[in-house]
Amino acid sequence: MTWVVLQVNALSQLRANRAGYSVSWFLTSVFVVLTAWSYSSISEDPDFYISSTKWHGEGLGGWLFFFTAFAFLHAHWFPGSMLKATETGSRPDVSQGVKEFLLYFFWPVGVWFIQPRLNKIWEEHRWAQQALQRLGTDE
């Protein structure tokens, strides 16, 4: 989750005024996922259990599980959508963002495909900033 949060932070700095993207909603989703995982790790509640290999929710824990599952999916959809929007310059449709979502969702493999794209975006932004700074200087 840390890798995803850091990427959203970097992308939001590059395109801070992008309409329709709420980083606070994303951070709320991350907080819900981490809180639910922490609760599951500390408590021994048989109605609610989340680990990397097993998910289980019954009764009241089932409702918490569904909310946590939505937050988990949103925490992976948001950076994928934001990455695509930064690359294309416009907000992507659902069909355009599915590939990025899957790359973030299966993050061990997705890192190999996403990180070079992020590095390219960051370098282009850095070169653009340097060009703007050079315009203001007399040489």
Mean pLDDT of 28-41: 87
105: containing domain: 2-135
Read off the pTM.
0.73
Q: Which residues contact 121 (CB under 8 A, 6 or more apart)?
A: 11, 14, 83, 86, 87
pLDDT at 17: 55
User: Collapsing DSSP states into helix, strand and coil, what is residue 49?
Assistant: strand
Q: How many domains does the chain have?
A: 1
State which of 5-19, 64-78, 106-120 shows the largest mean pLDDT. Answer: 64-78
Greater pLDDT, 3 or 26? 26
Greater pLDDT, 103 or 16? 103
Task: Report in angstroms the alpha-carbon separations of 112 from 9, 67, 116.
Answer: 19, 30, 7
pLDDT band at 55 (very low <50, low <70, confident <90, very high): confident
Mean pLDDT of 83-101: 79
State which of 4-18, 40-54, 62-76 shows the largest mean pLDDT. Answer: 62-76
